[in-house]
Amino acid sequence: MDDFYRELILDHYKNPRHKGTLDPHDFSYADENPLCGDQLRIDVRLDEQQRVKEVAFTGRGCAISQASASLLTEKIEGMSLDQIKALTKDDILELLGIELTPVRLKCALLSLKVLKAGAYGLEGAQYADED
């Protein structure tokens, strides 16, 4: 419990990395956690190898949701779409380095949900184009 607001989380909450939007972008997705009002949008630009070249996020919400997004944007730089799709809950927990109750887990995982929805949505759009 005393680790809950460890330096790392507070630092990312107060000084978020990659805060902002990217226009144009290769994919962008936004979602919210209506139960607590956390909101998040993640924009991604890819390079020629379809790897993450640039990423940015905007949002508002609790320290856990926003720090999780900031930490995730650091982690995914250079990642391929397949690597993004393979990210799991455990990766987020490892980034945050704390135990979370079920309620707070939803806050922590919003960033992953938004990122993966964006990544899958991009693929869906490509399929649609091929049709």
Taking contact as CB under 8 A, which single stretch among the options 34-42, 48-56, 86-94, 121-129 is the one that binds another protein? 34-42
Candidate residues 4, 11, 19, 117; the one interacting with another protein per rule CB under 8 A: 4
Angle ∠(13,74,91) on CA atoms, nearest 5: 90
Site membership for another protein, residue 11 (CB under 8 A): no
Q: How far is the CB of 84 from another protein (least distance, A)?
A: 27
Taking contact as CB under 8 A, which single stretch among the options 1-9, 51-59, 69-77, 84-92 is the one that binds another protein? 1-9
Q: In b/e form, how buried is each residue of 112-131, taking b as 16+ CB within 10 angstroms?
A: bbbbbbbbeebeeeeeeeee
Alpha helices in 15-101 (DSSP H): 63-76, 81-85, 89-96
Taking contact as CB under 8 A, which single stretch among the options 22-30, 60-68, 72-80, 118-126 is the one that binds another protein? 60-68
**Which residue, 4 or 120, has its beta carbon nearer to another protein?**
4
Kind and range of the H or E run holding 14 = helix 7-14
Candidate residues 3, 20, 21, 37; the one interacting with another protein per rule CB under 8 A: 37
Residue 36, helix vs strand vs coil: coil
DSSP type of residue 130: H
- Residues interacting with another protein, by CB under 8 A? 1-2, 4-5, 10, 13-14, 34-39, 60-64, 104, 107
